[in-house]
Amino acid sequence: MSHHILVTGGAGYLGSTMVPDLLAAGHKVTVLDNFMFGQNSLAHVCHHPNFNVVRGDIRVEKTIRPLLKEADIVIPLAALVGAPLCNRDPVGATTVNHDAIMMMLGLLSKDQIPLMPTTNSAYGTGDENNFCTEESPLRPISQYAIEKVEIEKSFMEHPNAVSFRLATVFGMSPRMRIDLLVNDFTYRAVYDRFVVLFESHFKRNYLHVRDVSRVFQHAINNHESMTGQIYNVGLSDANVSKKELCEVIQRHVSDFIFMEAAVGKDPDQRNYIVSNAKIESTGFKPKYGLDHGVQELIKGYTMIKNAKYGNV
C-alpha cells in the first residue's frame, strides 16, 4: 500500500538513505529540511515524480502545518543530533529536538501515523549488569538523550505512534557523518592508523544506517501489530566494547594500532548491553553487520577525507 510520507530532516544522515528507499517502495515522499550543512544528498532522487522537497524550519508552524495535513505518515528525523552539537547550541537543540516535536504532535490527527527515532543512549549505564530492555529504567546523560526521553513520553500518547530506540548508527550515507563511533574509529584507522581508547571496556550496541531505513519500512508494513510500542533496534551480535570494535576494524586494516589509556575518562559515559529481542519477535532482523560496515567505510573513505584546512 502506498502512503504519503513527510520526512523532516530528510536530507540528513538517516534521511538521505531512507528517502530513496521509501520512494523505491512506491511511497510519495515530501522532505522538509533546512539544509544547514549545505548538502545535496537527495540530488539523485530529484528526478522522481513522487519526491517533493521544501526548504524550511520545523520550528515554524506556518511551514510545517500544511505539510502535516497532507501526510499519512510522519517520520520526524530533523534534530540537532549528538551531545557535542547540543552542547555547542543548547538553545537551538531544545527548540528543535523538543519544542518543535511537541508542536508537531499537537498538530497531528489521531489517524496519522508518527514513527519516531529515539536513542538507546537513554539507558546511560544500564542496571548492575549493564543489560537493558525496553522496560529498563532510563538514565540519560546528555542533553540530547534527556530531551529524547521527554519527547518519547509525549510521543507515545499518540494512538498510532511507534518509537525506535536506535543503537549507535554506522555506515556510508549520501550525507555522511564521520563523528559516529564506528565511522570515526574506521576513519582514524584508514588515515591515522591508530587510536587511543579511554575506558575501552565500555560497551554499546550498533546498527547500520540501511537497517534504520529497513526498520521504518517494517513498521509501515506491520503497523497494526506494532502500534503503540517502543522497540530497541540494533545488532544483537554487536553489543561490543570499544576495544572489541577496534579488533573488528583491525581485521580489515591490518596496520591499525589501538592503545588503551591507563588514565583519563571518556566524556561519553554510556555503557550498556541492549536486548533487541522485542523487535526481532516482529520478524525484523538487521542485515548489515559490523564487518560489512567497516569494509564499506574503508571504500567510502577512499573518496572522503576531512582535509579542509590541510595541504594533503
CATH classification of 181-204+237-273+288-301, choosing from 2.40.128, 3.40.390, 3.90.25, 3.30.1920?
3.90.25
For residue 201, what are the contacts with CB-CB under 8 A and spacing of at least 6?
241, 242, 243, 271
Q: What is the pLDDT along the chain (312 residues), one digit of tens a residue?
A: 899 999 999 999 999 999 999 999 999 999 999 999 899 999 999 999 999 999 999 999 999 999 999 999 999 999 888 777 888 888 988 899 899 999 999 999 999 999 999 888 778 765 567 888 999 888 877 777 888 888 999 999 999 999 999 999 999 999 999 999 999 999 999 999 999 998 898 899 999 999 999 999 999 999 999 999 999 999 999 999 999 999 999 999 999 999 988 776 666 667 889 999 999 999 999 999 999 999 999 999 999 987 666 655
Contact present, 293 and 171 (Cβ < 8 Å)? yes
Residue 71 main-chain phi, psi, to 5 deg: -95, 140
Q: Which pTM value belongs to this model?
A: 0.94
Residue boundaries of the structural domains of the chain: 4-171+206-233, 181-204+237-273+288-301
Superfamily of domain 4-171+206-233: NAD(P)-binding Rossmann-like Domain (3.40.50.720)
Contact present, 131 and 85 (Cβ < 8 Å)? no
For residue 206, what are the contacts with CB-CB under 8 A and spacing of at least 6?
167, 168, 169, 170, 181, 182, 234, 235, 238, 240, 245, 290, 293
Q: Which residues of 146-164 are buried (b: 16+ CB within 10 A; e: fewer)?
A: bbbbebbeebbebebbbbb
- For residue 239, the surrounding DSSP H or E stretch is none
What does the CA dihedral 41, 291, 268, 303 come to, rounded to 10 degrees?
Answer: -40
